[in-house]
Amino acid sequence: MEILITGGTGSIGRILCRSLTEKGHRLTVLSRKPGKVQTICGEGVVAISTLEDLPDSAYFDAVVNLAGEVVIGPYWTENRKKVLWNSRVGVTDELANFINRAVVKPSVFISTSAVGFYGNRGDNSIDENTPGAGGFAHTLCQGWENAASRVKEFGVRVCIVRFGLVLMPHGGMLKSMLPSFRIGLGARIGNGQQWMPWIHCQDLVCMIELLLGNVELNGVFNGVSPNPVTNREFTMSLARHLKRPAFFFVPALLLKLGMGEMGQLLLDSQRAIPKRFQEAGFVFQYPSLDSALTEIVG
| Three-state DSSP class for residue 250 | strand
Evaluate whether 45 touches 77 at the Cβ level (below 8 Å). Answer: no
Count of beta carbons in the 10 Å neighbourhood of residue 127: 17
Dihedral angle sign, alpha carbons of residues 140, 7, 32, 95: negative
Q: What is the pLDDT of residue 278?
A: 98
Torsion of CA 101, 102, 104, 110, to 10 degrees: -100
Q: What's 283's DSSP letter?
A: -
Residue 117 backbone dihedrals phi, psi, to 5 degrees: -55, -35
- Closest among 112, 109, 21 to 61, alpha carbons compared: 109
pLDDT for the residue 133? 87
| Alpha-carbon gap, residue 189 to 195, rounded angstroms | 11
Query: Quick one: CA torsion of 162, 164, 170, 175, rounded to 10 degrees?
Result: 130
Q: How far from chain centre, in Å, is Cα 172?
A: 9
pLDDT for the residue 41: 94
Residue 12 CA: distances (Å) to CA of 8, 178, 263, 272: 8, 18, 23, 20
Q: Output the tens digit of pLDDT for each of the chain's 298 residues.
A: 999 999 999 999 999 999 999 999 999 999 988 999 999 999 999 999 999 989 999 999 999 999 999 998 899 999 999 999 999 999 999 999 999 999 999 999 999 999 999 999 999 999 999 999 889 999 999 999 999 999 999 999 999 999 999 999 888 889 989 999 999 999 999 999 999 999 999 999 999 999 999 999 999 999 999 999 999 999 999 999 999 999 999 999 998 889 989 999 999 999 999 999 999 999 999 999 999 999 999 8
Residue 269 contacts residue 122 (beta carbons within 8 Å): yes
Strand partners, 5: 29, 64
Confidence (pLDDT) at 244: 95
Predicted local distance difference test score (pLDDT) of residue 193: 97
Which domains does the chain carry?
Answer: 2-297 (3.40.50.720)
Other C-beta atoms lying within 10 Å of the C-beta of residue 292: 25
First to last CA, the chain: 35
Helix (H, G, I), strand (E, B) or coil at 126: strand
What distance in Å separates the CA atoms of residue 10 and residue 85, rounded to the nearest whole number?
Answer: 17
User: How many Å separate Cα 87 from the centre of its chain?
Assistant: 14
Q: Do residues 9 and 34 lie in contact, with contact meaning Cβ atoms separated by under 8 Å?
A: no
